[in-house]
Amino acid sequence: MGNFALFAVTPSGSQPLAVPPNAQDFTDLYKGLSLGVYSVWRTFNHNQFLRLDAHLSRTRRSMALLDWAVEWDETAVRRAIHTITTNAPYPEMRVRLDVLAESARQLGTESRILLAVMPFTPLPQSLYESGVALGIARGLERERPLAKTADFAVKRRAFQSGRVNDCLILDEDGRILEGTGSNFYAVRDGVVWTAGAGVLEGITRQIILDLLPELGIPLRLEPVHTDDIAHLDEAAISSSSRGWLPVVEIDGQMVGNGRPGPISQQMMAAYRAYVAEAVKTAV
């Protein structure tokens, strides 16, 4: 394996597929194919996963939202995920599952279900200690927020920048919905605010929403406005690859005192403890 490995999931097992020689990102693997729905997550302890059930369920829901009738053998998918990650040479991986709109005949398979893996290096601990900066993806929106479609992954590449960790998507009134690849949280007066509708059902987001009441932290499922950035005490994003990641700058504006605050400290510790107990293999 090089930087990527790509497989078709077939009834007889996983079939290796050719990888474009200059691929830099998952999206480069699917050029020329009929894109569909997808999910991406990371491994823990080489071949263990956090809430894999939820990732697979969300993929099925995304297909249903598009009115797709796709033959879906979840046992075969799980077996392929387990075999590929167990045999991969990378210590940790990002794994992407795609269900295409049409068979990937250009790659030599009749399957519509593809699995890709690439090496994954967790973010350095220093970013969790210092926090990160976010931009704003003005003009970008999800047409179907509850369906995780691969065409959106292509669109968001125009907003990716090395200076910021992610960019935020706004609604038409300027309220913060989510990141292009993460969910967003604002903290004000000890209350966590996050959009309750119009956003992707993040798997890590659901873990966060479950942990907050256990920690006694109040939650409001409402988005904050960009005008409120200067008045926030803390902010954070979450995703399967980041966990809970403190945010200290948004669109050039400092958040709070420019350092991760007490709620972020609580959430990071609670999330780490949850992961240690909850990860397991695909089969």
Q: What is the pLDDT of residue 194?
A: 98
Query: With the CA atoms of 154, 155, 160 and 166 taken in that order, what torsion angle do they form, in degrees rounded to the nearest 10?
Result: -100
pLDDT at residue 153 greater than cutoff 90: no
Helix (H, G, I), strand (E, B) or coil at 177: strand
Top pLDDT among 260 and 72 is at: 260
The pLDDT tens digits for 165-206 are: 999 999 999 999 999 999 999 999 999 999 999 999 999 999
Domain ranges of the chain: 5-119, 125-278
> Structurally, what CATH architecture does the domain formed by 125-278 represent?
Alpha-Beta Barrel (3.20)
CATH number of the domain located at residue range(s) 5-119 in this protein: 3.30.470.10
The pLDDT tens digits for 232-271 are: 999 999 999 999 999 999 999 999 999 999 999 999 999 9
**DSSP code for 26:** G
Q: What is the pLDDT of residue 279?
A: 98
CB-based contact 98:30 (threshold 8 Å): yes
The pLDDT tens digits for 114-143 are: 999 999 999 999 999 999 999 999 999 888
CB-based contact 229:250 (threshold 8 Å): yes
pLDDT at residue 1 greater than cutoff 90: no
